[in-house]
């Protein structure tokens, strides 16, 4: 295993385990900093959308047109891009309703204790939430890994954006598990486990995709990565940012994320 693979796997591990940060926030913060979360989630969406549409999509197009010609290559790029969106939409459709990872949770929810007959339901909700987030994070791990393999700087930007949006997901897992069991440790464990699927997705990409990697396969996968990132931003990050929103902070965060990513790409080049 060479250093570039280790680096890419390390990035996905960092991004995935950020769910544990959300869990710690739920335990040790007295209130949810909604302004910070709204700006952060908007920033994450801005990074993902900009880098997907400006950088990843065109890298995929260049690889595919070089391998397959201008016309076929462009159509394959479009197929990969929208295929990534359709794939994430299907993942969301099969997730258990009780475990919807898009549901916003706040630290304040820890203060609203359940009645006795709610404990079983809350435990089930927490487990389903952890499972749903785990399923959801698997393709994100593939996307982060493949980006880091192709361009380490790009991989770092995506890993940071994914890590930011994993923080409220950690809160969503921790709150019901803590109520159902009364154990902070169990809540933290479930939160970390839900994030482990991110590096598992990266390992799957390394074991099953890397050995067969060609310009065509790389281009299709990278176009799919762009579609996945745009879908996550529009379907998950921005709606969550708006639910935490005060004024137009989520949009300010979105614009800031795009601007930072744009300047970073210029400086890197």
Tell me the binding residues for Zn(2+).
140, 165, 169
Distance CA 61, CA 148 (A): 18
SS3 category, 1? coil
| d(C-alpha 201, C-alpha 250), whole Å | 29
Query: What is the separation of C-alpha 253 from the centre of its chain, rounded to a whole number of angstroms?
Result: 17
**Residues marked as binding?**
137, 140, 165-166, 169, 198
Query: Cα(59)–Cα(57) distance, rounded to whole angstroms?
Result: 6
Asked if residues 193 and 180 have their Cβ atoms less than 8 Å apart, the reply is no
Residues of the binding site for Fe(2+): 137, 140, 166, 169, 198
What is the C-alpha separation between 210 and 114, in angstroms, rounded? 48
Nearest CA to 232 out of 69, 97, 41, 94 is that of 41
């Amino acid at each position: 295993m060479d250093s570039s693979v280790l680096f890419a796997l390390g990035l996905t591990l960092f991004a995935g385990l950020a769910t544990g940060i959300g869990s710690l926030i739920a335990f040790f913060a007295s209130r949810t900093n909604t302004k910070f979360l709204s700006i952060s989630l908007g920033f994450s969406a801005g990074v993902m959308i900009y880098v997907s549409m400006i950088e990843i999509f065109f890298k995929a197009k260049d690889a595919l047109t070089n391998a397959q010609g201008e016309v076929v290559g462009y159509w394959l790029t479009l197929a990969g891009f929208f295929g990534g969106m359709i794939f994430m939409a299907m993942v969301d459709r099969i997730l258990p309703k009780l475990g919807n990872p898009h549901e916003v949770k706040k630290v304040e929810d820890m203060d609203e204790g359940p009645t006795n007959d709610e404990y079983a339901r809350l435990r089930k909700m927490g487990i389903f939430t952890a499972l749903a987030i785990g399923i959801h994070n698997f393709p994100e791990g593939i996307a982060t890994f493949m980006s880091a393999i192709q361009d380490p700087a790009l991989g770092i930007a995506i890993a940071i954006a994914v890590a930011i949006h994993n923080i409220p997901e950690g809160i969503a897992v921790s709150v019901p598990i803590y109520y159902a069991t009364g154990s902070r440790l169990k809540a933290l464990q479930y939160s970390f486990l839900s994030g482990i699927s991110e590096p598992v997705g990266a390992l799957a990409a390394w074991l099953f995709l890397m050995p067969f990697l060609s310009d065509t396969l790389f281009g299709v996968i990278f176009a799919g990565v762009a579609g996945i990132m745009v879908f996550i931003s529009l379907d998950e990050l921005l709606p969550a940012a708006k639910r935490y929103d005060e004024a137009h902070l989520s949009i300010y965060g979105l614009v800031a994320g795009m601007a930072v990513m744009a300047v970073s790409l210029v400086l890197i080049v």
